[in-house]
Structure 1
């Protein structure tokens, strides 16, 4: 094995951190490691984490990945970091974390978000000014919340970072940001690719937030090399470069080869995402479409649904079913679940835009109330939300010849067929399910080697031919009827 080929990809998510070792010369993933995080939750929608847990998990998952790969950490040439988007990490002038990080799923700042949205002129005003409509999960409302709830913390802010920016800061000592992840802050203009300084001055006229902003760098730029003490702790080469990294969706796009128009990535995780590459910032008039920058030099229009495997999991637990038994029941029920419709909005919903909605069942009769129909109805209901999102993306002019499916739900052949039929598009899974960690490793190779991203993705992203699923015309038609029924139920809300 040549020394020139080993890269580490890190993905710091909500539930844990994953690390992979990639041999970029052969395109093979040699090792995978993981470590869990805990969550600080409050009844008021608080969802926070201690960044120290990310550092511990990054260290542990790296050691495990290197051990599984059976390689010498001194041969690692570069590291790329993918991070959960929108989280707020505040540091003082010594680089110390000031308070736990508020996460993307935190809704404690909903009131602050509503006031900022009003200041911007509502959703249409935000779309016109920023290219995105800010939502409670975005970073900007967390800043206003910190100012009002913790003024003593706010006064000490020296660095204003996203989760992946913070991990890069820990690795290199440099505070930088990359355009893709920066797009999800709510104080960044996705068209001009610049910070919106007047919006930060609206929150704090003193200018302290402006001074705390990280430097923006391009996706193919390295921040520098790993600090010697951190390299020793991780057991890797201190000469390894650290790439710009990015948000988990941006890195997932690279890790599924979604770097040119025509491919759509769909993630069936606890929440659902659908995104595609665009070479122009065609901002949709629909607030649900977030036209983020990509981490490959373009844009990444994206929709997110709040209810997916978290909703199917609730039904599984209710009936005490394992995955195999659940999928068997889904397959037993006919398309449309004999008239049973579920609106699975257990977490509120973004697509359709119903933040305060709750879940509901429709069309129940004495004969169709069966376990099989309820199991199918929850999978159909969550997938219809993704279909609505895909339709919004297609309205912006995006073409989709193929859907690349990732996330836990993609492992189910029943669900894959359902996605192909409901979207009327071919579906295929990538061989490496940890798409964000893979994308981060590929990006590190891009930064270090100067080889084109296209060539690296062609070699390192493999599709699983056994998972290729084509839509069946008769089913496409039957699902279209069930989808229209779902839309009618949604309209009543």
Structure 2
């Protein structure tokens, strides 16, 4: 009898469920997009009632699409955006809106912590990471200062992976790969660190965090009530789940050293695994990897493909509507790729720094922008600059990883995420990095990784290496054009110089208070 695995993936604005067989074939998937709430500047939230409803709905829908017997689902795993904050009160009540990982309300708190010289002795040597504004520590501190009533209403502090597992099983846990990315986890002791909580001034919240659970542990079973709403069989086992960057890495087959995995989406995720870690001040994050004695070293920022979504929704709405009117089978993204394909790399010096949702420049108040435009700059050149800017942002992250491990590019890059739908963008990535790109035959990387965790939990695979061998397959390889190496290096150097030179401008903008009109 064929057994199947279900993976659930909650991003910032979408919820997905997919079903796979043990060979990694996608049987069916379902996606529902949800509203990102922005009640104040720099806030990004989700309605908890809507979030729960769409999770149940995508499970129901994917089972209907698959036409398989729910009894053949061997296990369910889940993943979702890392960090952010989801609070649950007694009897499962919602305390407040969930907070997404692009939220920036606590930036001033983080700047104060990072300016404290004690951070480098009290926190970084324990967490091996740099705190940032949408991590739980910063958000909990912000709540203490701005919504203090929330503490007494809260029974559990969750990441989104833990929240969805709780809804499916009624069991509370705090999954380790997610926990290790929160800047609250001691990488040496493999536990949440009380002294770190003390430094951040949030020690009281430690009692609100449920026990740590492993990614492949059975952390509960589908309840009778959930079975009625979703169609899953009561008693179906549910795995601990995974941090989304971990799930994406596993779905690209990242199981050996000196191999780079790049995931493109809202976040620019660039990572590799190693069995050795050290304190590196500029490294974004070191987190647990669910392979024995391995760690995931990550450079990341929200500077990737979602910048194109912003550009098309802001400046190309008419083009999108026209494509619909003429029933063109191509999407606005296909149209963008056609525009970029017509631009030769040496034809435009237009630079775009892709910081719409955040920056990786290491400069306070940095924001997105174009520089180098003239009256002759075409729409195609603007789109081309967005494509290049995203590639350059990834390259800046990878250069930081190369300072830690000079061999990280000794084999082809495994790449996944939204840009893999564009052959033009893939070729640009390969040409800018001057490395072959290997594409895995998977469309939903997060859901696939989560399903792999369910496969290990259920005994279909002995471990993640076995799961990757069975489920992950290279579909094609993109080879770089060496003739473009020099021109792209010149453009990347120009990009870096422009970003550096903008620091005083960003500082002035950030510190300027505009007067309201009378």
* 2:238 is the alignment partner of 1:242: yes
- Aligned residue for 1:94, secondary structure, equals helix
Deviation at 1:172, TM superposition (A): 2.1
Aligned length: 484
- Aligned residue for 1:106, secondary structure, equals coil
Gaps of 5+ in 2: 320-331, 503-518
Deviation at 1:92, TM superposition (A): 2.5
State the TM-score, normalizing by the size of structure 1. Answer: 0.92
> What are the residue-to-residue correspondences of 1:205-244 with 2, within 5 Å?
208-244=204-240
Judge conservation of contact 2:83–2:159 (CA < 8 Å) in 1: yes
How has the CA–CA distance of structure 1 residues 251 and 381 changed in structure 2, closer, same or farther, with 3 Å as cutoff?
same
Judge conservation of contact 1:282–1:396 (CA < 8 Å) in 2: no
Deviation at 1:366, TM superposition (A): 6.3
Paired residue for 2:287?
A: 292
- Aligned residue for 1:342, secondary structure, equals strand
* 2:136 is the alignment partner of 1:144: no
- Aligned residue for 2:91, secondary structure, equals coil
Deviation at 1:194, TM superposition (A): 1.6
RMSD: 2.2
Judge conservation of contact 1:78–1:448 (CA < 8 Å) in 2: yes
From 459, 474, 491, the counterpart of 1:463: 474
- Aligned residue for 1:346, secondary structure, equals coil
Measure, in 1, the Cα distance between the counterparts of 2:120 and 2:434.
31
How has the CA–CA distance of structure 1 residues 72 and 355 changed in structure 2, closer, same or farther, with 3 Å as cutoff?
farther
From 62, 77, 80, the counterpart of 2:77: 80
Deviation at 1:104, TM superposition (A): 0.9
Deviation at 1:309, TM superposition (A): 2.7
Judge conservation of contact 1:282–1:291 (CA < 8 Å) in 2: no
Bigger CA drift: 398-407 or 31-40?
A: 398-407
State the TM-score, normalizing by the size of structure 2. Answer: 0.87
Judge conservation of contact 2:10–2:16 (CA < 8 Å) in 1: yes
* 2:463 is the alignment partner of 1:452: yes
Measure, in 2, the Cα distance between the counterparts of 1:346 and 1:20.
30
* 2:501 is the alignment partner of 1:480: no
CA displacement 1:14-39 (0-9 Å, x = unmatched): 11111111112x43221111222222
How has the CA–CA distance of structure 1 residues 52 and 279 changed in structure 2, closer, same or farther, with 3 Å as cutoff?
farther
Paired residue for 2:342?
A: 332
Measure, in 2, the Cα distance between the counterparts of 1:363 and 1:44.
29
- Aligned residue for 1:52, secondary structure, equals helix
Deviation at 1:421, TM superposition (A): 1.2
From 88, 93, 97, the counterpart of 1:91: 88
> What are the residue-to-residue correspondences of 1:119-138 with 2, within 5 Å?
121-122=118-119, 126-138=123-135
Deviation at 1:415, TM superposition (A): 0.7
Measure, in 1, the Cα distance between the counterparts of 2:122 and 2:389.
32
CA displacement 1:216-264 (0-9 Å, x = unmatched): 1233322132223223322122232111101211111121111222332
Measure, in 2, the Cα distance between the counterparts of 1:342 and 1:361.
4
Paired residue for 2:383?
A: 375
* 2:415 is the alignment partner of 1:418: no
Paired residue for 2:515?
A: none
From 260, 265, 271, the counterpart of 2:256: 260
Judge conservation of contact 1:132–1:291 (CA < 8 Å) in 2: yes
Judge conservation of contact 1:139–1:184 (CA < 8 Å) in 2: no
Measure, in 1, the Cα distance between the counterparts of 2:347 and 2:303.
19
From 12, 20, 23, the counterpart of 2:21: 23
Paired residue for 1:318?
A: 315
